[in-house]
Amino acid sequence: MAFILFKKERVHSRIYYSITDTHYKLAGYNLLYKLWRKRNQPVERGWSVTADDLLNEHDEGFSTADYALVIDFDPNSKKRIALVEIEAIHVYTYGDSNSVAWSPILLELRDVYYDDDYAELTPDLKRDRLARFELPPRRKRMIEFLYLQGGWNWGRNGSTNAAFILEDARRYFLDVFNKPDQGDLNSVDHPAAVTGVAVSSADSHVPPS
């Protein structure tokens, strides 16, 4: 995945996005870690950040009024352009006062751009398509589960990289789903991208393998 900042432009009732050369970093000792520190380093409980929180941490004064935190979830594809943007991130951090063990995270996303009708998508063509485009009028919402290791890096890539959603974290994430403004996330018609999820009651301090 590639994490790219996009510029927003409003023209009457229409919204246009334009790709920038700026990338942002969620993992490592970057945005999520810095916001965790500002929240007094919560452990054994959940915490949340909005896109505005992330943007302001990235560059003071940035907000969703002017920018979007976009994820290109297939950046090397020669057949499609597939973009979503972050609306919020919910984290449940395991550990103690001395160290963090790991953190399953739930990303609230909304689609931005999808086109898989390319015989051969070159970098120049992709850049041209994303230079300026109008957002679709009806944008689907979706979620994704990922996890961060103790050092705040992404869980390893591979065919078996599911995040175990333990009982206490599951209760926290259920509260997120049950918020009044999250009702459509529970709809059977909602195309939720719930990937890499496993439910377990195992030892909460053992990160997924």
Q: What is the pLDDT of residues 13-24, one digit of tens each?
A: 999 999 999 999
Instruction: Please state, rounded to an integer, the average pLDDT across all residues of the chain.
Output: 85
Q: What is the pLDDT of residues 126-156, one digit of tens each?
A: 999 999 999 988 899 999 999 999 889 998 7
Please, are residues 138 and 176 in contact by the beta-carbon 8 Å criterion? no
Q: Which residue has the higher pLDDT, 67 or 145?
A: 67
Answer yes or no: is pLDDT of 91 > 90.
yes
pTM: 0.83
Give the CA count within 13 Å in the CB-facing half-sphere of 46: 20
Token pair 């393998």 in the structure block, residue: 209
**If you average pLDDT over residues 75-103, what whole number do you get?**
94
Q: Helix H segments across the chain?
A: 31-38, 51-58, 123-130, 167-177
What is d(CA 21, CA 59) in angstroms, rounded to the nearest whole number? 14
